[in-house]
Amino acid sequence: KAGVTQTPRYLIKTRGQQVTLSCSPISGHRSVSWYQQTPGQGLQFLFEYFSETQRNKGNFPGRFSGRQFSNSRSEMNVSTLELGDSALYLCASSLVTGYGYTFGSGTRLTVV
Amino acid sequence: AQTVTQSQPEMSVQEAETVTLSCTYDTSESDYYLFWYKQPPSRQMILVIRQEAYKQQNATENRFSVNFQKAAKSFSLKISDSQLGDAAMYFCAYRSATGNTDKLIFGTGTRLQVFP
């Protein structure tokens, strides 16, 4: 059974550019969430999607957005990149609410 | 708002010994879930163990067990017979059981080193 797949694994972008990260959940999982992990702020919740609807959003500026497609795959987009957006972005999916997420290996974004 | 605190930034243990990682949380809710996740250098977060707050019995998964003290809002992880492969960052996480969300609130993590 395939796990949660995140692409790309690594990304280097320049300040001011925009970026799109992709997440394919485990087959059958309809809940997908995104987290940002940095040494300074730790793991912070970005947003959560269920059946193509954003169910919850963390405290991030509007430059951070996401969406979920009918096949449950999700993308997150960051526009006008800043140096502080450099982080590991983790995606997770869940089959049964409350059981716990399965995480992907993340996308390491470096903004220069 | 709920918070999760891990007061031990780093811990170390000898192979085959037992180690306990601490976690406390703050919430006004009575129903919630608690988790321990492991993050090895490969970066992928791996679910180690979960606990439902309404269950009195402490969860156990092979060498991993928890000591869940609901009144004290404490949720420690005990790793028995430690192995080199247990070396990783360990995160404690909280999830509300109310509201339509799977959002996790994480602690700052504990780095566990295992020495041969």
- Distance in Å, alpha carbon of A34 to nearest chain B alpha carbon: 9
Closest to B50 in 3D by CA, of B64, B66, B34, B30 = B34
Q: Does B109 touch chain A (CB under 8 A)?
A: yes
The residues that bridge with B9 in the sheet, in sequence order, are: none
Q: Does B36 touch chain A (CB under 8 A)?
A: no
Give the model's confidence band at B42: pLDDT under 50 very low, under 70 low, under 90 confident, else very high.
confident
Q: Does B90 touch chain A (CB under 8 A)?
A: no
Of the candidates A48, A99, A104, the beta carbon closest to that of B103 is on A48
Mutate which of A6, A43, A51, A99 to test chain B, going by most B C-beta atoms within 10 A? A43
- A48: chain B residues, CB-CB within 8 Å: 101-103
Where are the strands (E) in A1-112, listed by range? 5-7, 10-13, 19-24, 31-38, 42-50, 53-57, 64-68, 74-78, 87-94, 102-103, 107-111
- A104: chain B residues, CB-CB within 8 Å: 44
- Residues A37-94 pLDDT 10s: 999 899 999 999 999 999 999 999 999 999 999 999 999 999 999 999 999 999 999 8
Distance between CA atoms of A54 and B88, rounded to whole angstroms?
Answer: 32
State which amino acid sits at residue B77. L
- Distance in Å, alpha carbon of B105 to nearest chain A alpha carbon: 7
- Residues B50-94 pLDDT 10s: 999 998 899 999 999 999 999 999 999 999 999 999 999 999 999
